[in-house]
Chain A
Amino acid sequence: MAFTILQQVVNGVALGMLLALMAVGLTVVLGLMRVINMAHGALYTLGAYTVVTTFDRWGFLPSLLAAPIAVGVIGLVLEGVLIRPIYQRDPLHTLLLTFGLALIAEDLVRIVWGDAPYPMSPPELLSGILLLGDLPFSKYRLFVIVVSAALMLLTWMFLARTQLGRTVLAGTFDREMVRVLGIRINLLFTLVFGLGAALAGLAGALASPIRGVFPGMGSSIIMPSFVVVIIGGMGSFGGALIGGLSVGIIISLAVEFFPAASDVVVFVLLALVLLVRPRGLFGVEGLLSR
């Protein structure tokens, strides 16, 4: 029993890391630009479809690299062409814009790649199980944990250790101040949006062999990602990570004990967090609540 629970936790960590990758992009874009990106799920979908397209020609690892690059570029273009012109407007408009983009993207995927789910399996080297003692763990899931942890670390180092990253973080607290300091905030926005898109693309790519590749895959991950952002606290990198892990683990454990409630339990957690700590676990008081 205890072993099964350990396995479920490892499994939950794998799911949690995917959610964290999604949530980081959402939360930083939200904190810095006040944009709720409803198309974030579509970027995740595009990441997965990049992999299935290049997989046969390039193999798995190059495809895994191609996905965030391709989706990151798409993110840069979206931000530059569509979102930037309407920053000055009510945040409602960017929300609706990305809502429309999400609808468009899903159908474009259907037109280009078809309606049917794409067969996608982990590469030979990573498929099957790894026995740790007597305990079997999915090799691919361990791989997901390692890769996404590395990526989260890199992102964190960028945000905390580089000049540019610190400016981004400062911007999430007070973007007027950053503007006043004479920093070209538009460029910063584009960059951050691209980065968020790339992370979503990577999450989709990593998820492709285990969560299925189909046109609607983005809408199944966007809601838990939103919940992660709220639980972790808007604009908080650490919140995205901790929030992602806790949601992932809770979903996995719920399957072991109350399978029927496995997707309602996330919202119970959300309500609890809001009651006890309305700004989210790592949220800063006052940020975004005015």
Chain B
Amino acid sequence: MAKKKSGSLSRREFVKVLGGGVIAAAGPTIFVPSRAWAQGTGPIRIGNIEPLSGPYADSGLDEMEGAQLANEDWNAKGGVLGRKIEMITEDAPSNPGIGVQKAKKLVERDQVDFLTGTLTSSVTVAVSDVAATAKVLFMAFGSHADDTTGSRSHRTTFRTTNQNYALSTATATWVAKNWKPKQVYHLTADYVWGHSARASMNRIFERFGVKEAGNDLFPLGTSDFSSYLIKVRGVKPDVLVVNAYGADQINCVKQFKEFGLGSNMQLCGPLSGTPMMKGIGTAATGVWGLSWHSTVDTPGSKKLRDALMKRYASSKKPEWRPSYRHYLGYVTHQQLLEAIARAKSTNKCAVIKALEGHKFDGLKWTQSQWRAWDHQNVQDVIVAKAKRDASWKSEDDYFEILGHLSGAEAYPDEAMWKQMGGRPLEPMSEIGC
């Protein structure tokens, strides 16, 4: 597997490990991890945490592939600062405890220079806390929850993923303007992400005078939505909002079709993507917020798409296309490595400074930016219609892009961010800079 390290590296590591053992032998209390030894000489080590088993394994694998492509691009050019990039991937299914364990392992044992990855909000926030305590830079490319760069933000964490507020704002704005509904009904997954999605959608809906007819919280991992949908049918809203991700979204949308609700109401949701549409299949419907799709027509995206196709298509089914998880993995690693090059150092303080406020081509329409005060990647949000009809040929055709909202319009400003419980980042001095 790709995540295993090559033999020569493990030998080098063995020597280091042996060194560590000797230090440890001198007395446990004076044991200091030998981080300093590795710096400036060997490869740059990136610890990548992904769900490679469990319900999100598919997306986790996509992220890993995207990140890998960025690493390979740089390694082909001779690495960064003359050092090769080595990625160590650890499997952490959607379970924050395992995420914490793996993060500790990568920091303590493998002594990685940076942490990246994670998918679900719960794991992301947990790893973010570990990284902050260990004072290691963490580039999150999972988690759409607002908290990750809001009330749970850290100076050491940057997040590539679109935040919920932005996704919901873009989707709700499109829905309110185009469908002009009178009332909407929410089905909300009962966890941080679901709640914040609903709140953000409602904020926009209120502005357009759209009423909330009702909201049901369903437990994460619900497979049978029939009871909820029967209830929705009785209420007869104009739009059903599905604040759900992963298998929950798949089952909910499929059963929406099964119960024939499509003829009575519209469906929308703040976030979807290729991984979900694969499961929804012919029941695909609704208008969704997206971070990226393989048909984004900017030159940068086309280039990325081609590169990903060239690298991975041979091992996949013919209809396969890169997903937005590939995009997230790629852009994050690309940005991290570029920042190291700009900073001319792998020192986290220098890299953080190089990232903060940096504007870059996020391969979409307007420029993206790492916002300095919350470390959020402010970027375009895509609104797209899901479809699956006879003309469907490849995974490109899962979505028809309806438009996009620029980051400046979609993202909360500082006042709003504070109102949502945004926590100022720790001062640089606190993380040893």
A141 touches B260 (CB 8 A): no
A119 touches B230 (CB 8 A): no
**A37 CB-CB contact with B under 8 Å:** no
Known contacts A121-B254, A220-B223; A4 and B230 CB within 8 A of each other: yes
What is the CA–CA distance of A263 and B280 in the complex, to the nearest angstrom?
Answer: 25
22 contacts between A and B (CB under 8 A): A11-B230, A115-B57, A116-B279, A119-B278, A119-B281, A119-B282, A120-B281, A121-B254, A127-B257, A129-B260, A141-B226, A209-B254, A209-B258, A210-B226, A211-B251, A214-B55, A214-B247, A217-B223, A252-B226, A252-B227, A260-B190, A262-B218
What is the CA–CA distance of A220 and B220 in the complex, to the nearest angstrom?
Answer: 11
Besides A116-B278, A121-B283, A214-B247, 11 more A-B contacts (Cβ < 8 Å) are: A1-B234, A114-B58, A116-B58, A121-B282, A141-B226, A210-B224, A211-B224, A214-B55, A252-B227, A255-B218, A255-B228
B219 touches A262 (CB 8 A): yes
* In the A-B complex, the 9 residue pairs with the closest CB atoms: A119-B281, A115-B57, A117-B279, A255-B227, A211-B223, A116-B58, A129-B260, A115-B58, A7-B230
**A118 CB-CB contact with B under 8 Å:** yes
Pick from A4, A117, A129, A263: contact of B219, CB under 8 Å = A263
What is the CA–CA distance of A1 and B247 in the complex, to the nearest angstrom?
Answer: 30
Interface residues of A in 201-256 (CB under 8 A from B): 209-212, 214, 216-217, 220, 251-252, 255-256
> Which residues of chain B are within 8 angstroms of A8 by Cβ–Cβ distance?
227, 230-231
B248 closest partner in A (C-beta): A212
**B104 CB-CB contact with A under 8 Å:** no
What is the CA–CA distance of A140 and B278 in the complex, to the nearest angstrom?
Answer: 22
Interface residues of A in 6-22 (CB under 8 A from B): 7-8, 11-12, 14-15
Interface residues of A in 100-140 (CB under 8 A from B): 107, 110, 114-122, 127-129, 136, 138, 140
What is the CA–CA distance of A254 and B260 in the complex, to the nearest angstrom?
Answer: 23
> Which residues of chain A are within 8 angstroms of B259 by Cβ–Cβ distance?
129, 136, 138
A118 touches B57 (CB 8 A): no
**A91 CB-CB contact with B under 8 Å:** no
A212 touches B227 (CB 8 A): no
> Which residues of chain A are within 8 angstroms of B280 by Cβ–Cβ distance?
119
B275 closest partner in A (C-beta): A116
What is the CA–CA distance of A256 and B225 in the complex, to the nearest angstrom?
Answer: 11
**B101 CB-CB contact with A under 8 Å:** no
Pick from A11, A128, A214, A216: contact of B260, CB under 8 Å = A128
> Which residues of chain A are within 8 angstroms of B257 by Cβ–Cβ distance?
121, 127
Taking the nearest CB of chain B, how far is it from the CB of A79, in angstroms? 28
A11 touches B227 (CB 8 A): yes
The size bracket of the interface on A is: 35 or more
> Which residues of chain A are within 8 angstroms of B247 by Cβ–Cβ distance?
117, 212, 214
Taking the nearest CB of chain B, how far is it from the CB of A200, in angstroms? 16
> Which residues of chain A are within 8 angstroms of B250 by Cβ–Cβ distance?
117, 212
> Which residues of chain B are within 8 angstroms of A220 by Cβ–Cβ distance?
221, 223
B227 touches A256 (CB 8 A): yes
What is the CA–CA distance of A263 and B190 in the complex, to the nearest angstrom?
Answer: 13
**B217 CB-CB contact with A under 8 Å:** yes
Interface residues of B in 403-432 (CB under 8 A from A): none
Q: Which B residues have a C-beta under 8 Å from some C-beta of A?
A: 53-55, 57-58, 61, 190, 216-219, 221, 223-224, 226-228, 230-231, 233-234, 247, 250-251, 254-255, 257-260, 275, 278-283
What is the CA–CA distance of A281 and B130 in the complex, to the nearest angstrom?
Answer: 49
**A59 CB-CB contact with B under 8 Å:** no
**A62 CB-CB contact with B under 8 Å:** no
Known contacts A8-B227, A120-B281, A216-B54; A136 and B260 CB within 8 A of each other: yes
A259 closest partner in B (C-beta): B216
Taking the nearest CB of chain A, how far is it from the CB of B170, in angstroms? 26
What is the CA–CA distance of A8 and B283 in the complex, to the nearest angstrom?
Answer: 23
B276 closest partner in A (C-beta): A117
A12 closest partner in B (C-beta): B227
Pick from A107, A138, A214: contact of B226, CB under 8 Å = A138
Taking the nearest CB of chain A, how far is it from the CB of B1, in angstroms? 13
Taking the nearest CB of chain A, how far is it from the CB of B225, in angstroms? 9
> Which residues of chain B are within 8 angstroms of A252 by Cβ–Cβ distance?
226-227
What is the CA–CA distance of A184 and B240 in the complex, to the nearest angstrom?
Answer: 59
> Which residues of chain A are within 8 angstroms of B278 by Cβ–Cβ distance?
116-117, 119
> Which residues of chain A are within 8 angstroms of B224 by Cβ–Cβ distance?
15, 210-211
> Which residues of chain A are within 8 angstroms of B216 by Cβ–Cβ distance?
255, 259
A207 closest partner in B (C-beta): B223
Taking the nearest CB of chain B, how far is it from the CB of A96, in angstroms? 21
B388 closest partner in A (C-beta): A119
> Which residues of chain B are within 8 angstroms of A114 by Cβ–Cβ distance?
58
Taking the nearest CB of chain B, how far is it from the CB of A222, in angstroms? 13
B215 closest partner in A (C-beta): A259
B227 touches A118 (CB 8 A): no
What is the CA–CA distance of A209 and B254 in the complex, to the nearest angstrom?
Answer: 9
What is the CA–CA distance of A251 and B225 in the complex, to the nearest angstrom?
Answer: 11
> Which residues of chain A are within 8 angstroms of B223 by Cβ–Cβ distance?
210-212, 217, 220
> Which residues of chain A are within 8 angstroms of B228 by Cβ–Cβ distance?
255, 259
> Which residues of chain A are within 8 angstroms of B55 by Cβ–Cβ distance?
214, 216
> Which residues of chain B are within 8 angstroms of A115 by Cβ–Cβ distance?
53, 57-58, 61
Taking the nearest CB of chain A, how far is it from the CB of B119, in angstroms? 12
Taking the nearest CB of chain B, how far is it from the CB of A249, in angstroms? 10
> Which residues of chain B are within 8 angstroms of A217 by Cβ–Cβ distance?
223
> Which residues of chain B are within 8 angstroms of A117 by Cβ–Cβ distance?
247, 250, 278-279
Known contacts A129-B259, A255-B231; A11 and B279 CB within 8 A of each other: no
Taking the nearest CB of chain A, how far is it from the CB of B61, in angstroms? 7
What is the CA–CA distance of A220 and B58 in the complex, to the nearest angstrom?
Answer: 19
Known contacts A117-B250, A212-B247; A138 and B217 CB within 8 A of each other: no
Q: Quick one: which of B53, B190, B224, B228 has the most chain A CB within 10 A?
A: B224
> Which residues of chain B are within 8 angstroms of A120 by Cβ–Cβ distance?
281
B251 touches A212 (CB 8 A): yes
